């Protein structure tokens, strides 16, 4: 079998941890498998590098940021290859470019366009364990790119897809995917299986156990994806097709996204085309707008509110000052988004009411609401985020 294993930041956080990872990889190799390992930077390293850049500039050149950030993963890939070779198992590290990962030109959130597997395949055929630096690729102009925060998950899934691996294992610091972040709610339960679609919602709504684009890619390429802990041998969570799951619960999980900010434009002229103008400007500035609320206008003006990722607030400010669609623009980073996710909602009514009731009982004001077939999201004040997660977890009986 060909197995792709990805180890996250905490799993390679120290030289001792890298040694433990080497032992795990060797076990898999000894069992007769070919192994491609994808590694993250040591935990905290990417943030540290970003802080260094922030010392010099509020909006550093994105190409340079990619040069900087990609170094973190290269360190761990080389160290793991050295450790493996020393233990008698030939290994070779590869940067994103050497692994043939070609992306578009969007620095710091590039998309993978194709993977040229020839180099990886050749190294595997020579009997090596291949250790790829995650989170990075190369643009068609030969520039280094990175894949967005948490992007090593995406590297692993994309490589597994391209090499037609039998299995892609994501090793992290929890036993798998839980009904909610076990660090917020200790009563959270580990799920044995979850569908691609639910995992995709949970991930894009803040459950960082898997990067959302990696789940999207796994679904598209039909990759057998498992998340599990690198600290024990417990069985993890299988992310799979909905048909492979016998009984769909009403609600599978609760997610908390602390990385959102709200923008409110007051007194926007209430005429056709204005929303198009505002959101086109934001799209051109590469800002990801999420929830949008427009009030019923009166006296020819209206208020427009929307949320954006906190790290895109600077780009949003710039776009809004260039556009001048409204005289008053308010920015609020002191909010969070809590979401309830479940495929079972499709066929049940009243699921949203439980969420509203729960917020009422806890005396938490709901500032924005959005729903889809399989999720309900609420924007509330940041200080209530974790309380809301625990209250919803118990209201939907996920601890049972």
Tell me which residue has its CB nearest to ligand ADP.
8
Our CB check for ligand ADP shows the closer of 84 and 174 to be 174
Phi, psi of 36 (to 5 degrees): -110, 125
The tokens for 201 are 């919602």
**Among ligand ASP, Mg ion, ligand ADP, none, what binds residue 178 when CB lies within 5 to 8 Å by partner kind?**
ligand ADP
Task: Say whether 206 sits in a helix, a strand or coil.
Answer: coil
Shortest Å distance, C-beta 12 to Mg ion: 12
Nearer to ligand ADP among residue 180 and residue 326 (C-beta): 180
Instruction: Name the H helices within 126-252.
Output: 152-162, 196-204, 212-221
State the burial class of residue 125 (Cβ atoms within 10 Å of its Cβ: 0-12, 13-18, 19+).
exposed
Largest CA distance in the chain: 77
Nearest to 139 by CA among 80, 63, 87: 63
Min dist. Cβ of residue 47 to Mg ion (A): 12
Q: Could you report how far apart the first and last alpha carbons of the chain are, in Å?
A: 38
* 154/364 with CB nearer ligand ASP: 154
In 3D, which of 18, 189, 136 has the Cα closest to residue 87?
A: 18
Going through 95-184 in order, the beta strands assigned E by DSSP cover: 101-103, 112-115, 129-133, 136-139, 144-146, 167-172
Stretch that binds Mg ion, among 2-10, 75-83, 199-207, 361-369 (CB under 5 A): 2-10
Nearer to ligand ASP, 96 or 253 (CB): 96
Closest distance of CB 365 from Mg ion, Å: 32
**Binding of ligand ASP at residue 206 (CB under 6 A)?**
no
Q: How far is the CB of 175 from ligand ADP (least distance, A)?
A: 8
Q: Which CB atom, from 149 or from 228, has the smaller least distance to ligand ASP?
A: 149
Q: How far is CA 210 from the centre of its chain?
A: 5
The secondary structure of the chain in percent helix, strand, coil, rounded to multiples of 5, reads 40, 25, 35
Q: Tell me if 150 contacts Mg ion by CB under 5 A.
A: yes
Q: How far is the CB of 22 from ligand ASP (least distance, A)?
A: 19
Residue 5-24 contact track with ligand ASP, rule CB under 6 A, x = bound: ---xx---------------
Q: Name the residues that contact ligand ADP, by CB under 6 A.
A: 8-11, 40, 150, 172-174, 177-178, 180-183, 202, 207-209, 253
Considering the complex, what minimum distance in angstroms separates the CB of residue 13 from ligand ADP?
A: 9
Give the footprint of ligand ASP on residues 19-48 (CB under 6 A). Answer: 40-41, 46
The secondary element (H helix, E strand) that includes residue 341 is strand 335-341
In the region spanning residues 147 to 176, those forming contacts with ligand ASP, defined by CB under 6 A, are: 149-153
Contacts of 237 by beta carbon, 8 Å cutoff, 6+ apart: 175, 176, 177, 190, 191, 192, 193, 194, 226, 227, 228
Point out which residues bind ligand ASP (CB under 6 A): 8-9, 40-41, 46, 72, 134-135, 149-153
């Amino acid at each position: 079998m060909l197995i792709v294993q990805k180890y996250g930041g905490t799993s390679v956080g120290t030289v001792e941890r890298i040694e433990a990872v080497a032992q795990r990889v060797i076990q898999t190799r000894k069992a007769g498998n070919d192994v491609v390992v994808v590694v993250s930077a040591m935990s905290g390293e990417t943030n540290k590098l970003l802080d260094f850049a922030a010392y010099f500039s509020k909006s550093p050149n994105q190409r340079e940021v990619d040069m900087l950030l990609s170094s973190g993963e290269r360190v761990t890939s080389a160290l793991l290859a050295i450790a493996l070779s020393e233990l008698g198992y030939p290994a070779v590290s590869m940067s994103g470019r050497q692994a043939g990962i070609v992306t578009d030109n969007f620095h710091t959130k590039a998309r993978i366009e194709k993977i040229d597997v020839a180099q990886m395949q050749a190294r595997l055929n020579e009997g090596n364990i291949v250790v790829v630096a995650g989170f990075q690729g190369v643009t068609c102009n030969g520039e280094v790119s990175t894949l967005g925060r948490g992007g090593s998950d995406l590297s692993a899934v994309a490589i597994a897809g391209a090499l037609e691996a039998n299995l892609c294992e994501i090793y992290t610091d929890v036993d798998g995917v839980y009904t909610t972040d076990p660090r917020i709610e200790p009563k959270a339960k580990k799920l044995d299986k979850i569908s691609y679609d639910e995992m995709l919602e949970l991930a894009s709504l803040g459950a960082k156990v898997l990067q959302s684009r990696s789940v999207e890619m796994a679904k598209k390429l039909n990759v057998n994806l498992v998340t599990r802990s690198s600290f024990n041998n417990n069985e993890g969570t299988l992310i799979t097709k909905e048909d492979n799951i016998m009984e769909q619960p009403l609600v599978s999980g609760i997610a908390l996204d602390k990385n959102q900010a709200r923008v409110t434009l007051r007194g926007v002229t209430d005429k056709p085309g204005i929303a198009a103008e505002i959101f086109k400007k934001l799209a051109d500035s590469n800002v990801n707008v999420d929830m949008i609320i427009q009030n019923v206008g009166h006296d020819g003006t209206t208020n427009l509110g929307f949320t954006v990722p906190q790290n895109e607030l600077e780009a949003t400010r710039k776009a809004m000052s260039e556009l001048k669609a409204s005289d008053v623009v308010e920015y609020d980073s002191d909010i969070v988004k809590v979401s309830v996710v479940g495929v079972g909602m499709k066929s049940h009514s009243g699921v949203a009411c439980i969420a509203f009731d729960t917020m009422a009982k806890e005396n938490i004001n709901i500032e924005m609401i959005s729903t889809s077939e399989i999720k309900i999201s609420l924007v509330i004040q940041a200080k209530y985020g974790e309380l809301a997660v625990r209250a919803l977890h118990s209201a939907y009986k996920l601890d049972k």
